Amino acid sequence: MALLTVENLGIDIHGIRPLDGVSFSVDKGEILGIVGESGSGKSLTALSVIGLLPLIGGRILRGSIRFDGIDLATLPEAEFRRLRGRRIAFITQNPMTSLDPVMRIGAQIDQVSMLHLGLDARAAQARSIEIMAQLRIPEAATIYHHFPHQLSGGMKQRIVIAMALAADPDLIIADEPTTALDVTIQAQIVDLLVELVRERDVALILITHDMGVVAQTCDRVVVLYAGRVAESDAVAAIFERPRHPYTRALIGCIPRDETAHGNLTGIPGAVPSVAHYPAGCRFHPRCPRRGAPCDHIVPVSAAMDGGLFACHFPENSGVAR
């Protein structure tokens, strides 16, 4: 049994239903990538798992979210509070919104271990500085007394990661943790997250729009499109033999060294907004393989060799088109 198993998740926000039948699982020591373009439902999936949907007026309609034997979908908020930050940590895209601008950095990290682990101030400080040093923050004991505005974006994101680690969580959800950073800094932070997972044996859900980051870091991948899982599989399989045409198209949008001029064409059209989801397969208006059933019959999710895909005319699966 995996540490976290999400099954058939559907949510409602003020009458619209942006997620529909999302399923995946992640285990300790494993990195699961959730990839998709804007509007695919990646961040809403994260909010569902950490129980913050009510903050944006949403609720879970159906499905289950099992974390270490507990169903998070029905967990009362009072109990969720003991879990959130303690056993499930969340890293957001913009480190500036996760840090209090008028509070010293050290005190912000201390709070986590004081609240969740019951440490006193002195022990919390020692722990915070130790974690900061592990994250290769130079002169951690000095930086501990700094305010957020005195740090660069990359350093701030390390502080947010230190806060996430302070209570020794089992699961970390990182929502586009490097999108706001420069490329060389982005590579440093991603490398750091990968090392953490391997050393501390935590489970990491990495939410990203970047197939390059997925290929370089993840063990398994969930490809979301318009609130549904298009395909999920091991990372090697996703790139070697994608079955859903959207997966292939998404990979094809990133230029590689061997991509010849004129071969980067993109995907025609745009991701539909939640108010205008097409009937049938939601990708069909943009799909090169669409056929008769695609515009009115929702493809059911099919399993094959450890992967799942939802397509009437999948590639690499012996189905003729």
Partner 1 sequence: MSGGAQNLVELRQLSKRFESRRGLFGKPRAMTAVDDVTLGIPKGRVTGVVGESGCGKSTLARLVLRLLEASSGEVVFDGMPLGQLSGGALRKLRRRMQMVFQDPYSAIDPRYNMADALLEPHRIQGIRLSRADARTVVGELLGMVGLGPQIAASFPHQLSGGQRQRIGIARALALKPDFLVLDEPTASLDVSIQAQIIALLEQLRSELGLTYLFISHDLGLVRYFCDRIVVMYLGRVVEVLPQPHAAPRHHYTRALLDSNFVPDPKRRRTIRRLTGEIPSAFDLPPGCAFAARCPRADATCRAIRPDLTQTADGHAAACHHPL
In the complex, least distance from residue 253 CB atom to partner 1, rounded to whole angstroms: 4
In the complex, least distance from residue 1 CB atom to partner 1, rounded to whole angstroms: 26
Q: Which is nearer to partner 1, 18 or 85 (CB)?
A: 18
| Contact positions with partner 1 (CB under 8 A) in 9-38 | 37-38
- From 9-17, 199-207, 244-252, 292-300, give the range in contact with partner 1 by CB under 8 A: 244-252
212 CB-contact burial (10 Å; exposed 0-12 / middle 13-18 / buried 19+):
exposed
Q: Which of 96, 115, 123, 267 binds partner 1 (CB under 8 A)?
A: 267
Q: Residue 240 corresponds to which amino acid?
A: E
CA distance 293 to 287: 13
- From 49-57, 108-116, 168-176, 258-266, give the range in contact with partner 1 by CB under 8 A: 258-266
- From 88-96, 163-171, 261-269, 291-299, give the range in contact with partner 1 by CB under 8 A: 261-269
# binding residues, partner 1 (CB under 8 A): 46
| Contact positions with partner 1 (CB under 8 A) in 35-64 | 37-38
| Contact positions with partner 1 (CB under 8 A) in 181-240 | 182-188, 190-191, 194-195, 209-216, 235-236, 239
- From 65-73, 87-95, 104-112, 177-185, give the range in contact with partner 1 by CB under 8 A: 177-185
Spatial contact of 23 and 2, defined as CB atoms under 8 Å apart: no
| Among 112, 162, 160, CA closest to 133 | 162
Name the one residue in this structure whose structure tokens are 């997925």: 214
Alpha-carbon dihedral sign for residues 225, 229, 235, 240: negative
In the complex, least distance from residue 294 CB atom to partner 1, rounded to whole angstroms: 18
Strand partners, 5: 25, 66
| Contact positions with partner 1 (CB under 8 A) in 298-317 | none
The two tokens of residue 38 are 């804007």
CA distance 117 to 110: 10
What DSSP letter does each residue of 180-217 carry, written as one string?
Answer: TS-HHHHHHHHHHHHHHHHHH--EEEEEES-HHHHHHH
Summarize as ranges the residues that interact with partner 1 (CB under 8 A): 37-38, 152, 154-155, 182-188, 190-191, 194-195, 209-216, 235-236, 239, 249-257, 259, 261-262, 264-268, 270-271
